Amino acid sequence: MAGPFLTTFPRRRRVLAVPVVFLLIWAFLPIETFNPPRRVLFGITTALAGKSTSDILQFVDPLIGTVNGGHVFPGATLPYGMAKPVADTNNYGEAAAGFVSDDSLIQGFSQLHDSGTGGNPSMGNFQLFPQPGCPEDNFTRCSYVVSERATSRINGSATARPGYFAIGLNNSIYVEMTATAHASLFRFNFPSEAEVPYMYAASSGESIPRTVPNSPLIIMDIIDLGNSRSGGDVKVNATTGRMQGGGKFRASFGQGSYEAYFCADFRGAEIRRTGTFLHEKATDSVQAIGALYSDVRIPHGSAGTWVQFVSAPKNQILARVGVSFISAAQACLNGEREIPDFEFSRVVTAAEVVWQEKLSVIKADHTGLNVDLLKTFWSGLYRTMLSPQDYTGENPLWQSDEPYYDSFYCIWDSFRAQHPLLTIIDPETQTDMVRALIDIYKNEGKLPDCRMSFSKGFTQGGSNADVVLADALIKNLTRGIDWTLGYEAVVSDAEEEPSDWSVSGRGGIESWQTLGYIPVDDDDRKGTGPLSRSISRTVEYAYDDFTIALMARELGHKADEAKYLKRSHNWKNLWRPDYDDHYRDKATGTIQGSSWKGFLQPRLRNGTFSEQTARMCSPVYEQHVCYFDTRHSTYEGSPWLYSFYVPQDMASLISLMGGPTSFVERLDYFHSSGINYMGNEPNFLPTFQFHYAGRPGRSAYWVHQYIPSLFNSSIAGIPGNDDCAMGAFSAFAFMGFFPVAGQNVYLLTPPMFREVSIRTPDGKGWTTLRNANFDSEYTNIYIQSAKLNGKQYTRNWITHDFFVDGGVLEFVLGPKESEWGTQKEDLPPSLSTGTI
Ligand SMILES: *[C@@H]1O[C@H](CO)[C@@H](O)[C@H](O)[C@H]1NC(C)=O
Ligand SMILES: *[C@@H]1O[C@H](CO)[C@@H](O)[C@H](O)[C@H]1NC(C)=O
Ligand SMILES: *[C@@H]1O[C@H](CO)[C@@H](O)[C@H](O)[C@H]1NC(C)=O
Ligand SMILES: *[C@@H]1O[C@H](CO)[C@@H](O)[C@H](O)[C@H]1NC(C)=O
Ligand SMILES: *[C@@H]1O[C@H](CO)[C@@H](O)[C@H](O)[C@H]1NC(C)=O
Ligand SMILES: *[C@@H]1O[C@H](CO)[C@@H](O)[C@H](O)[C@H]1NC(C)=O
Ligand SMILES: *[C@@H]1O[C@H](CO)[C@@H](O)[C@H](O)[C@H]1NC(C)=O
């Protein structure tokens, strides 16, 4: 029996010491538990050559980014799915999405999560937790509260695939899970012996070996990961074991709260007894707790229901957990409708089919690429479809026929690459997301910059939903989008300051309109919000206004177009040509820096410049002092970084920076000096901005510096929290183009595949990017010449119709930079050159 165990224990590190005692415990588990599809084990070798075909899912490793701050959700989910079950760990600093690939303890298996977010854990509501039995067969002696029940995992046992997650607990239970849109399905695998040895994790922190009579007990704790619940109700039906309940929880990076509900049903074993628990006290005489059922308001912390079974005849118990934001009754309906049969493998297969289909819009020639690169690409692509989450039909806030998406977490991160990617690979969903954003404007008065759990999230910089809407309009997303209302929404951002602009819209609108910049000493009387970030808000407002101008042009609002184009020059008002790059090195006390001059700098209302060290908030100098509520003039980045953020007029910026040669040297210095931090989304575009100075080859060069060294297939393989955007960066880079979000512009670099094709939105054709002289060692990374549908093509950028109409773009590659894409007429458009 050890044979199947070892060969099918599927994760990395399985050869490292798994205590022998475990082999024995595990040996008693049913063999089918350890029977992952053969393709997981053998598929990798067969797929190495040739085109990606049917079984692309083998290259998706959801565990990438589950340490090192990636905060990725690796559990079971459908694309944009609401139900997101996974194991929740107690490493709260890292467990933003529940699971962490380290040695932290597993405290439960909850139903709702947000993937890739920064900061605190988000959601993690309704934690199921199984125990094989209770000491002395006394249910009061089982563990109920998080701190007591948290159990170590079997090292290396975490297994994740699209639609499936599993992990072995050190209490002898192997837990598998899968999901539909609004329901999780768990398969708890119990040992078969009558007396089960297991490691009891005592609250003292000690692990005490025990045996318990085989009589599984499963608890449902209505806690969330952030322990933010207030109130709530929960009950269990003593006959059927059905559990229902809900509570009120706090939004993780925003204002306000939300209510969530669940409904759990069990199959596979006879019920012995049921009950409830409040903190560590469990009873079998009370079957319902909370204000709905009694005078007792459930206090903070662990509380919920439990059901104890006689030992399961097939050593498996299934738990179906429907979720809802409307009511527990709707949670029950969701579970019943989506998983009527409790067929675990059917649900897994259905999820695989959906993911397979989503990813089938891309065909890549895998020739020569190693498995690490393939996994980096496909897993990143997969992650771009985890969130925003589709909560259509689950919005308790207003009635609407529009789709409702939530977990725009945050648009400041996602507008740059994720939404433009979805526009190409999943335009239907991107269209629905745009409609949801406009419907949020209609019902809440403003577009969000960040939104999670039906709550307003904090605005990090500008009103960047403006860019998302502009991008969609320019790229002809139309189905059902009310562009009149959409335009009203972006104009509202630009013109009407909300009383609390920390969660929507913009602050300092009067200064913006009169001074043309956000002064560092702004005395904004119209609304309240953190008066920091004067540089980053200025450049973001300028770009947001630019994209509004593009919308105005598209929609025929001539006067608005002129007005917003004018404001889009406002970034220049913070340009301080003499400001240099010096700082005091903390370690040596000496003045360090470079000879680069000219940076965006904070400015007072009276016009006099103030200062912020150009490298402040970069990895080389005081990186962690520029957040939402800190006082500096930039947000999560340095003046060095923000001084490149002029996507609307790179030509002007390049001349301010001393012309193309100087600009290229300066951008190279930015990338090579440690000032750039690829773990954050504003740092994506500067990788490709060499294009604007006629050096597309330098962009290609830097792409290869970052992939795979910072974006790779290890569990630590994402340089910062994912926000579903890090994967979009690598996906674009692999495919050979990168969007200038909000414009009809993609900057071209050679695909990292010999050839890659993307299905056109009508589903009928393909857009192909192909390399001649491709070598998988990436020696030939420079475009020598290009042909678009057979005709010479010298522009270093391309427009969206290429992806709509289909066609073939062929590059000839070489080991040295060439003349290709370097001439004035080859450059991407800029305002000041009259090309926009
Ligand atoms: C179960 O344990 C509790 C607390 O340890 C004890 O009070 C109770 O008597 C026990 N029940 C039985 C049936 O032994
Ligand atoms: C699990 O394995 C990793 C190495 O793969 C090791 O660092 C860690 O200490 C192990 N944890 C336990 C609890 O054995
Ligand atoms: C798991 O339990 C075994 C005994 O059953 C114990 O020896 C081991 O230390 C435990 N592992 C962890 C990681 O706690
Ligand atoms: C438990 O469920 C059964 C079957 O649906 C139902 O008939 C019974 O009334 C329920 N019990 C309680 C206490 O609600
Ligand atoms: C602006 O205000 C600052 C600080 O109060 C002062 O030092 C500076 O001289 C003023 N500049 C002008 C032009 O008045
Ligand atoms: C993979 O990426 C991570 C995070 O960016 C990085 O720390 C690590 O060094 C990379 N690994 C390899 C082998 O390049
Ligand atoms: C959008 O549609 C219009 C009209 O059909 C067309 O002229 C334009 O080229 C399209 N734009 C893009 C980016 O596909």
Chain segment 306-350, per-residue pLDDT in tens:
999 999 999 999 999 999 999 999 999 999 999 999 999 999 999
Can you tell me which atom of ligand 3 is nearest the CA of 197? 5
CA-based nearest residue to 453, from 509, 366, 389, 398: 389
Mean pLDDT of 803-819: 98
How far is the C-alpha of 561 from the C-alpha of 507, rounded, in Å? 22
Dihedral angle sign, alpha carbons of residues 686, 689, 693, 696: positive
Residue with tokens 């498995």: 371
Can you tell me which atom of ligand 7 is nearest the CA of 476? 1
Which ligand is closest in space to the CA of residue 608? 5
Dihedral angle sign, alpha carbons of residues 532, 534, 536, 537: positive
DSSP characters over 330-359: HHHHHHHHH-TT--HHHHHHHHHHHHHHHH
Q: Which of 12, 373, 710 to mutate to test the pocket of ligand 6 (most atoms within 8 A of CB)?
A: 710
- What domains lie within the chain, and their CATH numbers? 60-357 (2.70.98.10), 681-836 (3.30.2080.10)
- pLDDT, residue 10, reads 30
Is the CB of residue 427 less than 8 Å from the CB of residue 474? no
Can you tell me which atom of ligand 7 is nearest the CA of 475? 13
Per-residue pLDDT of 357-379, as tens digits, reads 999 999 999 999 999 999 999 99
205 vs 811, higher pLDDT: 811
pLDDT bracket for residue 54 (50, 70, 90): low
3-state secondary structure of 521: coil
Rounded to the nearest angstrom, the gap between the alpha carbon of residue 58 and the centroid of all alpha carbons in its chain is 21
Residue with tokens 């029940």: 149
Does pLDDT of 399 surpass 80? yes
Does pLDDT of 46 surpass 80? no
- pLDDT, residue 53, reads 47
Residue nearest to atom 12 of ligand 3 (CA): 152
Distance 494 CA to ligand 7 centre (A): 26
Mean pLDDT of 468-495: 98
Helix 534-555 / helix 483-495 crossing angle, nearest 10 deg: 150
How far is the C-alpha of 452 from the C-alpha of 121, rounded, in Å? 12
- Contacts of residue 625, defined as CB under 8 A and 6 or more positions apart, other chains included, come to 616, 617, 632
How far is the C-alpha of 211 from the C-alpha of 135, rounded, in Å? 7
3-state secondary structure of 205: coil
- Would you state the structure tokens that stand for residue 303, as one six-digit string? 């509380």
- Would you state the structure tokens that stand for residue 374, as one six-digit string? 């393939």
3-state secondary structure of 567: helix
Mean pLDDT of 456-461: 96
- pLDDT, residue 203, reads 66
pLDDT bracket for residue 626 (50, 70, 90): very high
pLDDT bracket for residue 11 (50, 70, 90): very low
pLDDT bracket for residue 201 (50, 70, 90): low
Strand order in the sheet with 362-364: 362-364, 755-759, 766-772, 807-814, 782-788, 791-792
Mean pLDDT of 717-743: 97
Per-residue pLDDT of 159-194, as tens digits, reads 999 999 999 999 999 999 999 999 999 999 999 999
Residue nearest to atom 9 of ligand 1 (CA): 138
Mean per-residue pLDDT over the chain, rounded: 93
- pLDDT, residue 41, reads 32
Distance 519 CA to ligand 5 centre (A): 13
How far is the C-alpha of 766 from the C-alpha of 250, rounded, in Å? 45
Which ligand is closest in space to the CA of residue 281? 1
Does pLDDT of 35 surpass 90? no
How far is the C-alpha of 146 from the C-alpha of 92, rounded, in Å? 13
Is the CB of residue 142 less than 8 Å from the CB of residue 171? no
DSSP characters over 183-204: EEEEEEE---SSEEEEEEE-TT
Mean pLDDT of 585-606: 95
Q: What is the signed CA dihedral for 434, 438, 439, 440, rounded to 10 degrees?
A: 100
Is the CB of residue 569 less than 8 Å from the CB of residue 653? no
CA-based nearest residue to 392, from 379, 378, 407: 407
Can you tell me which atom of ligand 5 is nearest the CA of 607? 13
The distance in angstroms from the start CA to the end CA of the chain is: 68
Least confident of 261-275, 623-637, 739-753: 623-637
Is the CB of residue 306 less than 8 Å from the CB of residue 220? yes
Tell whether ligand 7 has an atom less than 6 A from the beta carbon of residue 423. no
Q: What is the DSSP letter of 416?
A: T
Of all residues in the chain, what percent carry a pLDDT higher than 70? 93
pLDDT bracket for residue 31 (50, 70, 90): very low
Instruction: Give me the long-range contacts of 653-656 (CB less than 8 A, separation at least 24).
Output: 654/692, 654/693, 656/572, 656/575, 656/577, 656/598
- The two most distant CA atoms of the chain are separated, in Å, by 82
Mean pLDDT of 617-623: 95
- pLDDT, residue 21, reads 36
Per-residue pLDDT of 230-268, as tens digits, reads 999 999 999 999 999 999 999 999 999 999 999 999 999
Mean pLDDT of 561-572: 98
Which ligand is closest in space to the CA of residue 158? 2
- pLDDT, residue 70, reads 97
